[in-house]
Structure 1
């Protein structure tokens, strides 16, 4: 039996089942069946094929990393034959084929240790030979004494002389030590404090670094501390013995004074720790102040202007600056940025714009080739609210990352959600764990949610009318990263299904996107937003919005969108039920009976299309399914207020207003007819 190099529990080998995915293995077998599925292995690129990458894992053992497992296009992968890579073994087939999957960690330092998977060893999780024993102590070893020759017997007088000589020698050594001690302390104090950004000039020298510990990981050999000062980040390795935690009192968030020798480890700078002390009081505060001053300066947007002047957006200018500052700060502090957006055109335009702005900043801040997949994540939402279910999923993932990889809690950026009371519980859960949030919503926000997010950007909170969320988020992206403003110029024109405001149509045209191309992009995006709604679809969305905007891809998908929408439109329109109340025209669509609810287009998009085609005068379109009512109206109606009225009139109908003024109404399916009738009457009154 051995002990786990990460948590220390007794186990067969040197890694427990809980932490097996936190280490990488060197495979020393010669047969595929000797591999262990689920483990991460170090390999080397053997070659490329149209369908993926072949990776050598050991002697005569090669696996296939299929292109579907790679989170980017195969031709964009910066691997070359012979490169060391890291992959996970998914399955080993009876014919010897090995299925591999992607590893987001593509350097040894990103794992918490390296072990050996050797079929001939006592276990399949052994320490590498050079780490199986601790290195020799720093003190010089005494030369081994040679056997003494047999001496003649000493006389009593000789014994006395020997004792006196020994006493005199001891006294001399004590005096020498007393003299040398101050010199040793002075030498220690003389070690120069160096900024992390300047360490490459001190390779081979002892230096002192004062910094915050931003991460701690235990490897199969040393403990590695990630240190961050006002200039950069570096790893410091401290060794007690193989797999044993050095300086166990030091945790992430501590401020330390570290002395050690600067070396290069696998091509990267690293400090070999000789002494480590946790700073407190004024010393620690001085380091914090230096860090905060530098982060604050760097986090401020380089360009705070809007992409183009728009009075409707200008009312939230200060809020946009605050939001951009929070996003830039997260990147600087190595805090992942999680973009949560609605799965529609507005959400994909806004979420992708922010992603486009953040990715280059992450690449600049982190040298690892896979950093953009680690520090930026875009996760579409199933609904327009950030529910407790969404927050629970995010919190679970966040806490696991913190526990396994000592990762900081992310900044959550909510696009098109987070501004109504339905999101308060979800935002509250994130707040309990001190995960910062930014909510951005062009639609109606309500007072209950105003204080739930750390930063809320919504024109309605300033008493102004709603705007396009996609437009709002694109302006934010331009503040986050001024270098991508040209890439964003056409995006604000895309979310509009009717007439595009001249200012954004002109901006898109100047960027090479005329009205036809913009319309094609919008249609294609709407279709792709529906399918695989929970996936970010990073590459195909990027192709639609940027790389392929004038090619067959957009045209092909856009044509499918129009064909599917037209078919559903023609199916639903004859089944609209007219209702006249005073001078207001009502039409009701029974969504359950006269639409294909689980196929494209989604109900909301179909209702929008029907409304645009038929809206004239005082007109209201109601889409009613078994337990939900959606409203489209030419009048300035308040759907939440209607829902609250129905709650009083129909106490047994289980009516629940969802969202703000432009929300929807939920109810018990058995009360559908009563709810629709009451809603028609209540809406008619709002036109008076």
Structure 2
């Protein structure tokens, strides 16, 4: 490796001083001219006044110089080909290595152009003949040791050292056997200019040099496939040892490597047939890594967009949103797996699908048609926070992928969850395994998780609240990543607003934005269909079905499936409420709030739709209609939990949870959510005390 000397700027000399040229006295022109010695070109220059002083070359100045001491007059620094230390002499080896004999090992792509007569090479005995021994210098070069030059006959398969005596015009290589005692090995590679992945199609069938980072290794029934990423993209490189046997086992993921091979087209996709691949280290690796990082950082800059609706909160939140978009895009361009963990309701699902639709085309463009199976997963969470069950699955899958495909640990994007202390235990586990986390949420944050995550996008950090849904934020971030998806996802914020019953100004604006295509009833039906299907999907993402519900696939299926799911969901809700509504107990609190409670454990159907939270919400909606204009709270409780819904009551559920945890010893109170909508957990034996204290706090809250 060579680097230019900074002291002399590559000239090899240092200027000590400058003085007037003694020949031309500073004019830059010769003092006298002999016309009979001038060439025709010089005569032309003379006629044009262009003859220059040969001493100062027309500058009029004479420089006093000395060889640069830093680089030894070479103008550059060179590292020893053997040991890699920096040298300043004229040779290619440092002083110590130059004293030793050295043996050259030819890489598989080398041919006779890399051979030098008189140098010693490592070879492998390939066969015997009456006139001598054939020796392979690499897979494509074979030489002969004539029998007259053999003092013994080496066995087939033996590694021996040979000197190149001669290379005939027809390519025949004449060798002499050698036995160096004190020697140093030099690895000889074919010197080829580095090519980028983006330009490989121009070199089909030609030998090329590609340097980049190993992002995935797959062992097939035939070759080993290395996915190599550089500044411009990713390409699959195939190496074959034996059928199903791992080639180059020393090469690991995240290594910077140098590949020599031939680009070809396989099943319509570009692939490089590897001749050789080796791990780069030191300055070579650092230089490539820095180039890749700089290029990806530039490519990952989010698009400058105008939000679909006017919103002061979104404008204030824009820097965080842009950073979130950049983090996701960098993961895509680095072919780092991305897991989107989202709450399994209409808001969480629409927000996650918006990002999914934006990044899947990019993931496939960079990693190939099947890359979405290896580098992306969308996983719903039943709870509105990152549970231990969730992180356990994410870590397990990530470790399996790392073992099978040598993939990096993933980036986990938490959407419509992740903002509170409840998420901390799972986050701590993820961090131990090198999993990075980012949060995009609208639940009221308590600040505890912010030091654990790369970014936390939350309307509360811009003066907003839960009315600005995660579906709205996620859709706008998706547009920053990939503006081409705007048309297909622009209705998702309106669906999320209906699902979360948002009354924010942005909700009305997003609904109006798509009013020509989707009526309020259409949006409401989509939200209910998503909630209903999410219940039965459990922990599956249901990508195809969810896309149909949101009219992202087949328009003919969209209407049919939404109508059917609404029919089934409404029938289930009606059946549930027929059983539950008669068992709702109502009382008026000191602040005028109408508090309604329902024991969903004993007075609602279990293990079916709607679940306790949804059941409490449906009861709350009906009671709000009955008591229009009055402050109202509905509590659906079970043995060890309570779900809260409110209207017109100025509660702070996360704060209430903290107070209950402190005030009621032995109750194990935890939970949270939005300020006026949330859930609480506690130990079963303390239910009566917790609910009584909760009612007391609700009765002391402001109303209006």
TM over 0.5: yes
Give, in whole Å, the separation in 1 of the partners of 2:280 and 2:657.
58
Which of residues 602, 616, 631 is equivalent to 2:644? 631
Q: What residue in structure 1 maps to residue 290 of structure 2?
A: 289
Q: Post-superposition shift, 1:560?
A: 2.4
SS of the equivalent of 1:492 reads helix
Please tell me whether the aligned partners of residues 304 and 321 of structure 1 are also in contact (alpha carbons under 8 angstroms).
Answer: no
Q: 1:244 to 1:607 in 2, by over 3 A?
A: closer
Moved more, 493-502 or 595-604: 493-502
Q: What residue in structure 1 maps to residue 607 of structure 2?
A: 598
SS of the equivalent of 1:234 reads strand
Q: 1:165 to 1:378 in 2, by over 3 A?
A: closer
Q: What residue in structure 1 maps to residue 91 of structure 2?
A: none
Give, in whole Å, the separation in 2 of the partners of 1:551 and 1:220.
44
Q: Does 2:576 align with 1:576?
A: no
Q: 1:217 to 1:593 in 2, by over 3 A?
A: closer
SS of the equivalent of 1:419 reads coil
Unaligned runs of 5+ in 1: 1-136, 148-161, 167-172
Which of residues 612, 629, 632 is equivalent to 2:621? 612
Q: 1:264 to 1:591 in 2, by over 3 A?
A: closer
Give, in whole Å, the separation in 1 of the partners of 2:379 and 2:617.
25
Q: What residue in structure 1 maps to residue 431 of structure 2?
A: 431
Which of residues 503, 524, 529 is equivalent to 1:524? 529
Pairing 1:52-71 to 2, within 5 Å after superposition: none
Larger Rg: 2
Q: 1:246 to 1:600 in 2, by over 3 A?
A: closer
Which of residues 142, 145, 163 is equivalent to 2:130? 145
Q: 1:532 to 1:264 in 2, by over 3 A?
A: closer
Please tell me whether the aligned partners of residues 549 and 558 of structure 2 are also in contact (alpha carbons under 8 angstroms).
Answer: no
Q: Post-superposition shift, 1:530?
A: 1.6
Give, in whole Å, the separation in 1 of the partners of 2:572 and 2:148.
106
Q: What residue in structure 1 maps to residue 90 of structure 2?
A: none
Q: What residue in structure 1 maps to residue 255 of structure 2?
A: 254
Moved more, 560-569 or 410-419: 560-569
SS of the equivalent of 2:496 reads coil
Give, in whole Å, the separation in 1 of the partners of 2:307 and 2:237.
42
> Residue by residue, what CA displacement relative to the aligned partner does 1:223-250 show, whole Å, maximum 9, x if unpaired?
4433221123233344556666554433
Q: Post-superposition shift, 1:558?
A: 1.5
Give, in whole Å, the separation in 2 of the partners of 1:223 and 1:560.
50
Give, in whole Å, the separation in 1 of the partners of 2:386 and 2:575.
32
Moved more, 479-488 or 518-527: 518-527
Q: Does 2:512 align with 1:506?
A: yes
Pairing 1:320-469 to 2, within 5 Å after superposition: 320-368=321-369, 370-466=370-466, 467-469=468-470
Give, in whole Å, the separation in 2 of the partners of 1:518 and 1:174.
80
Please tell me whether the aligned partners of residues 640 and 664 of structure 1 are also in contact (alpha carbons under 8 angstroms).
Answer: no
Please tell me whether the aligned partners of residues 307 and 478 of structure 1 are also in contact (alpha carbons under 8 angstroms).
Answer: no
Give, in whole Å, the separation in 2 of the partners of 1:495 and 1:201.
47
Moved more, 215-224 or 329-338: 215-224
Please tell me whether the aligned partners of residues 204 and 263 of structure 1 are also in contact (alpha carbons under 8 angstroms).
Answer: yes
Q: 1:360 to 1:233 in 2, by over 3 A?
A: closer
Q: Post-superposition shift, 1:186?
A: 13
Q: 1:520 to 1:163 in 2, by over 3 A?
A: closer
Q: Post-superposition shift, 1:383?
A: 0.6
SS of the equivalent of 1:407 reads coil
Give, in whole Å, the separation in 2 of the partners of 1:241 and 1:247.
11
Give, in whole Å, the separation in 1 of the partners of 2:442 and 2:472.
8
Q: Does 2:235 align with 1:234?
A: yes
SS of the equivalent of 2:327 reads helix
Q: What residue in structure 1 maps to residue 202 of structure 2?
A: 201
Q: What residue in structure 2 maps to residue 538 of structure 1?
A: 543
Q: Post-superposition shift, 1:144?
A: 3.5
> Residue by residue, what CA displacement relative to the aligned partner does 1:62-112 show, whole Å, maximum 9, x if unpaired?
xxxxxxxxxxxxxxxxxxxxxxxxxxxxxxxxxxxxxxxxxxxxxxxxxxx
Moved more, 387-396 or 457-466: 457-466
Q: 1:527 to 1:277 in 2, by over 3 A?
A: closer
Which of residues 567, 585, 602 is equivalent to 2:575? 567
Give, in whole Å, the separation in 2 of the partners of 1:196 and 1:163.
50
Q: 1:409 to 1:307 in 2, by over 3 A?
A: farther
SS of the equivalent of 2:642 reads strand
Give, in whole Å, the separation in 2 of the partners of 1:464 and 1:477.
20
Give, in whole Å, the separation in 2 of the partners of 1:283 and 1:317.
38
SS of the equivalent of 2:650 reads coil
Aligned residues: 528
Please tell me whether the aligned partners of residues 217 and 407 of structure 2 are also in contact (alpha carbons under 8 angstroms).
Answer: no
Q: What residue in structure 2 maps to residue 80 of structure 1?
A: none
Q: What residue in structure 1 maps to residue 312 of structure 2?
A: 311
Give, in whole Å, the separation in 2 of the partners of 1:267 and 1:472.
38
Give, in whole Å, the separation in 2 of the partners of 1:587 and 1:290.
63
Please tell me whether the aligned partners of residues 313 and 463 of structure 2 are also in contact (alpha carbons under 8 angstroms).
Answer: no
Give, in whole Å, the separation in 1 of the partners of 2:188 and 2:540.
58
SS of the equivalent of 1:315 reads helix
> Residue by residue, what CA displacement relative to the aligned partner does 1:27-54 show, whole Å, maximum 9, x if unpaired?
xxxxxxxxxxxxxxxxxxxxxxxxxxxx
SS of the equivalent of 2:651 reads coil
Pairing 1:16-27 to 2, within 5 Å after superposition: none
Please tell me whether the aligned partners of residues 418 and 453 of structure 1 are also in contact (alpha carbons under 8 angstroms).
Answer: no
Q: TM-score, normalised by structure 2?
A: 0.68
Give, in whole Å, the separation in 2 of the partners of 1:186 and 1:563.
75
SS of the equivalent of 2:550 reads helix
Q: Does 2:700 align with 1:685?
A: yes
Instruction: Indicate the RMSD between aligned Cα atoms, in angstroms.
Output: 3.4
Q: 1:552 to 1:207 in 2, by over 3 A?
A: closer
Unaligned runs of 5+ in 2: 1-121, 133-146, 152-162, 168-172, 175-185
Q: 1:140 to 1:291 in 2, by over 3 A?
A: same
Q: Post-superposition shift, 1:384?
A: 0.7
Moved more, 645-654 or 587-596: 645-654
Q: 1:355 to 1:224 in 2, by over 3 A?
A: closer
Please tell me whether the aligned partners of residues 411 and 436 of structure 1 are also in contact (alpha carbons under 8 angstroms).
Answer: yes
Q: Post-superposition shift, 1:430?
A: 1.8
Q: 1:611 to 1:284 in 2, by over 3 A?
A: same
SS of the equivalent of 1:448 reads coil
Moved more, 391-400 or 190-199: 190-199
SS of the equivalent of 2:226 reads strand
Give, in whole Å, the separation in 2 of the partners of 1:376 and 1:307.
27
Give, in whole Å, the separation in 2 of the partners of 1:163 and 1:628.
94
Q: 1:145 to 1:204 in 2, by over 3 A?
A: farther
Q: Post-superposition shift, 1:189?
A: 5.4
Please tell me whether the aligned partners of residues 300 and 325 of structure 1 are also in contact (alpha carbons under 8 angstroms).
Answer: yes
